[in-house]
Amino acid sequence: MSITGLSESSEEAESVHQPVLVNAVLGALACQPLSSKVYLDCTVGAGGHTEAILNQTAPHGRVIGLDRDDEILAIATKRLSDFSDRLVMRQGSFRQIVQTIEGLHLSEVDGILFDFGVSSFQLDQAERGFSFQKPGPLDMRMDRGQKETAADWINRLSQAELADVIWRYGEDRWSRRISAGIVRYRGEKGEILRTEELEAIIWKAVPAKYRHGRIHPATRTFQALRIVVNQELEQIEAGLAQAMSLMAVGGRLTVISFHSLEDRCVKQTFKRAASSGPPDREKRFINLFKKPIVAGPEEISQNPRARSAKLRCLERAA
139 phi/psi in degrees, rounded to 5: -110, -80
Q: Work out the number of other CB atoms within 10 angstroms of the CB of residue 137.
A: 15
C-alpha 116/C-alpha 305 separation (Å) is 12
Beta strands in the chain (DSSP E): 38-41, 62-67, 87-91, 109-115, 247-257, 285-287, 293-294, 310-316
What pLDDT sits at residue 316?
96
For the chain, give every residue range classified as CATH 3.40.50.150: 22-121+232-316
194 phi/psi in degrees, rounded to 5: -125, 150
- DSSP code for 217: T
Q: How many residues does the structure list for the chain?
A: 318
Which residues on neighbouring strands pair with residue 66, listed in sequence order?
90
C-alpha 282/C-alpha 230 separation (Å) is 33
CATH T-level fold of 144-229: DNA polymerase; domain 1 (1.10.150)
* Coil, strand or helix at 178: helix
CATH T-level fold of 22-121+232-316: Rossmann fold (3.40.50)
Among 16, 23, 55, 17, CA closest to 39: 55
Q: Which residues contact 301 (CB under 8 A, 6 or more apart)?
A: none
What pLDDT sits at residue 113?
98
Rg (CA), the chain: 20
What pLDDT sits at residue 213?
83
What pLDDT sits at residue 276?
61
Please say whether the beta carbons of 154 and 138 come within 8 A. yes
For the chain, give every residue range classified as CATH 1.10.150.170: 144-229
C-alpha 44/C-alpha 64 separation (Å) is 9
Q: Which residues of the chain have pLDDT under 70?
A: 1-17, 276-282
Write the DSSP string, 101-152: HHHTT-S-EEEEEEE-SPPHHHHH-GGG---TTS--BS---SSTTSS--HHH
* Coil, strand or helix at 285: strand
C-alpha 60/C-alpha 249 separation (Å) is 20
Please say whether the beta carbons of 109 and 248 come within 8 A. yes
Which residues on neighbouring strands pair with residue 294, listed in sequence order?
310
Strands 87-91 vs 285-287: parallel, antiparallel or unpaired: unpaired
Say how many CA atoms lie within 13 Å of 135 toward its Cβ: 3
* Coil, strand or helix at 198: helix
Please say whether the beta carbons of 70 and 91 come within 8 A. yes
